[in-house]
């Protein structure tokens, strides 16, 4: 069964134990993490607090880059914010990163009891869907939880749209998939995606997704902060083939 939790606070602690979780914070943490790994980062550690991020970075040899934000803004003393464009190959190749963000890293921590945890975004939605499908075949029966970070404890339209995009990619992977395997909330996410994007070409989808993201609460906040470029980056559907996996024993997100 596929579930969609929006925001992650609605998912009871432990309900994903033994299952697969896909954490979605499309604007911007999950998009930024995928981008950093695409550009050669050796791995990303996450924390829920600024102080613990600093301690973790200083513990690494050489010192890890510090990345993240609070309320969308670069944290004082950090090397990088939470914009995908900051995580260029020049900046992050062969470097480890410690990240803490307002919503995304908290959502990740909420999934710590899951058997497997992946990072999902619109840019890697098909890669995530395919990876989860292959893994779930080996783990059957298993529940898959699409865990939306939300915005300050409130549901996030952009995360739900991304969850729907992942589900659409999963359903298109093989004719054997049954929509009956989707919970009510997962079906709602899928419908929202299909209503907006099912008839579009890939290029038109990028534009449609960007337009849809811009009018969400998260998109409006980024626009107000001057991060419109990040919305465009997050809208490049299926531009990445990575499905980042969180190795909880090492607290390290790595490319897969």
- Indicate the average pLDDT of the chain: 94
pLDDT of residue 207: 83
pLDDT of residue 202: 58
Q: Contact, 2 vs 51, CB < 8 A? A: no
Q: How confident is the model at residue 140 (pLDDT cuts 50, 70, 90)?
A: confident
Q: How confident is the model at residue 137 (pLDDT cuts 50, 70, 90)?
A: confident
Tell me if the pTM is above 0.75. Answer: yes
Looking up residue 11, the CATH number of its domain turns out to be 3.90.1560.10
Cα–Cα separations (whole angstroms), residue 245 to 73, 191, 254: 26, 27, 6
CA dihedral 101, 86, 252, 77 (to 10 degrees): -60
Q: Is the per-residue pLDDT at 201 higher than 90?
A: no
- 48 or 206: whose pLDDT is higher? 48
Task: Enumerate residues 6+ apart whose C-beta is below 8 A from 246.
Answer: 23, 46, 108, 111, 117, 118, 119, 252, 253
Number of folded domains that form the chain? 1
7-66 pLDDT per residue, tens: 999 999 889 999 999 999 999 999 999 999 999 999 999 999 999 999 999 999 889 999
- 122 or 141: whose pLDDT is higher? 122
Whether 254 maps to a domain, the answer reads no
Tokens coding 60: 């690494």
Task: Enumerate residues 6+ apart whose C-beta is below 8 A from 225.
Answer: 72, 73
pLDDT of residue 174: 65
Tokens coding 57: 């970075």
Whether 253 maps to a domain, the answer reads no
pLDDT of residue 203: 58
Q: Contact, 204 vs 60, CB < 8 A? A: no
Q: How confident is the model at residue 72 (pLDDT cuts 50, 70, 90)?
A: very high
Q: How confident is the model at residue 175 (pLDDT cuts 50, 70, 90)?
A: low
Q: Is the per-residue pLDDT at 221 higher than 80?
A: yes
Whether 255 maps to a domain, the answer reads no
Whether 252 maps to a domain, the answer reads no
What is the mean predicted confidence (pLDDT) over 89-118? 97
Q: Strand, helix or coil at 204?
A: helix
Most confident segment among 43-52, 137-146, 202-211: 43-52
Whether 186 maps to a domain, the answer reads yes
What CA–CA distance (Å, rounded) separates 60 from 83? 23
Which residues constitute the domain of residue 176? 2-246
pLDDT of residue 178: 76
Whether 80 maps to a domain, the answer reads yes
Q: Which residue has the tokens 């390290």?
A: 252
């Amino acid at each position: 069964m596929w579930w969609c939790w929006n925001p992650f606070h609605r998912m009871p602690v432990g309900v994903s134990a033994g299952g697969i979780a896909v954490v979605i914070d499309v604007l911007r943490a999950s998009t930024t993490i995928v981008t950093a790994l695409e550009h050669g980062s050796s791995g990303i550690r996450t924390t829920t607090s600024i102080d613990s991020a600093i301690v973790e970075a200083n513990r690494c040899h050489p010192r890890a880059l510090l990345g993240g934000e609070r309320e969308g803004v670069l944290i004082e003393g950090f090397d990088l914010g939470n914009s995908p464009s900051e995580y260029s190959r020049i900046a992050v190749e062969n470097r480890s990163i410690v990240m803490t963000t307002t919503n995304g890293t908290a959502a990740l921590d909420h999934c710590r009891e899951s058997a497997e945890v992946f990072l999902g975004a619109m840019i890697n939605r098909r890669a995530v869907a395919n990876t989860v499908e292959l893994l779930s075949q080996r783990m059957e029966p298993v529940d898959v939880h699409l865990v939306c970070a939300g915005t300050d404890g409130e549901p996030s339209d952009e995360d739900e749209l991304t969850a729907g995009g992942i589900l659409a990619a999963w359903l298109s992977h093989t004719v054997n998939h049954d929509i009956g395997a989707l919970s009510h909330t997962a079906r709602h996410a899928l419908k929202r995606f299909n209503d907006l994007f099912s008839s579009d070409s890939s290029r038109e989808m990028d534009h449609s997704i960007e337009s849809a993201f811009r009018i969400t609460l998260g998109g409006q906040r980024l626009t107000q902060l001057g991060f419109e470029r990040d919305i465009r980056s997050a809208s490049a559907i299926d531009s990445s083939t990575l499905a980042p996996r969180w190795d909880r024993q090492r607290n390290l997100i790595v490319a897969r």
